[in-house]
Structure 1
Amino acid sequence: MSTLVEDNAAEHRFEILIDNALAGFSAYLPRGADVLVFTHTQVDPHFQGRGVGGALIRGTLDQVRARGGTVVPQCPFMAAFIDKHPEYADLVAEHP
């Protein structure tokens, strides 16, 4: 199974593709040059319960870190993921 997380900037969302099929996404609103406000995460029902949501958020946060950005996790799924994975806590914007 091939998995890829990529930023679809035109749609303002990070997408996870499994075997070239869209399996889920995490939508954001850009704020300034390097802050992304994440508002909603959705996983296709066919892929739920298989760790796809966690893989999507991990891939998203890794890419945000690589580009030197920060996040505002308004999405409850992303906020819960960061709470459970404190290695990503430094990516949360201090003053959203």
Structure 2
Amino acid sequence: MSDNQVKLNEGLSRYEILVDGQVAGFAAFRENVDGVRDFNHTVVQPEYRGQGLSTPLIQEALDATRTEGKKIIPTCSAVEHFLGKNENYRDLVAQ
């Protein structure tokens, strides 16, 4: 059984999901001056695809963003798709 963890990598402006300590994927964002995060790219490395990692990655990235009191722009199609399936996160979208 693998050990998954989502962490903020501030230097690269992205949340990373680690599987057994290895970066398996990330949700990158651009921080706008008004406190809005533009989530613009989500990647799960080929060798980790099909393991359901994008959902916990995006969920934890959005939870952390909410905790920080920030809003989002879902430029990335994966984040937009997640929002379509999870109504309780739609309040995070900047108007």
Q: TM-score, normalised by structure 1?
A: 0.93
Q: SS at the partner of 1:61?
A: helix
Write the deviation string for residues 48-79 of structure 1: whole angstroms up to 9, x where unpaired.
Answer: 11110111001101111111111100000100
**Cα offset, 1:23, TM superposition:** 0.5
Identity across aligned pairs (percent)? 36
1:53 maps onto 2:51 in alignment: no
How do 1:47-86 residues align onto structure 2 when only pairs under 5 Å count? 47-86=48-87
Q: Distance in 2 between matches of 1:67 and 1:9?
A: 14
Distance 1:5 1:34, change over 3 A: same
* Deviation (angstroms), 1:33: 4.7
Report the counterpart of residue 26 of structure 1 in structure 2: 27
Aligned residues: 94
Instruction: Name stretches of at least 5 consecutive residues in structure 2 with no aligned partner.
Output: none
* Residue identity matched to 2:55: G
Runs of 4+ deviating beyond 3 Å: none
**Structure 1: where are the runs of 5+ without partners?**
none
C-alpha root-mean-square deviation of aligned residues, in Å? 0.9
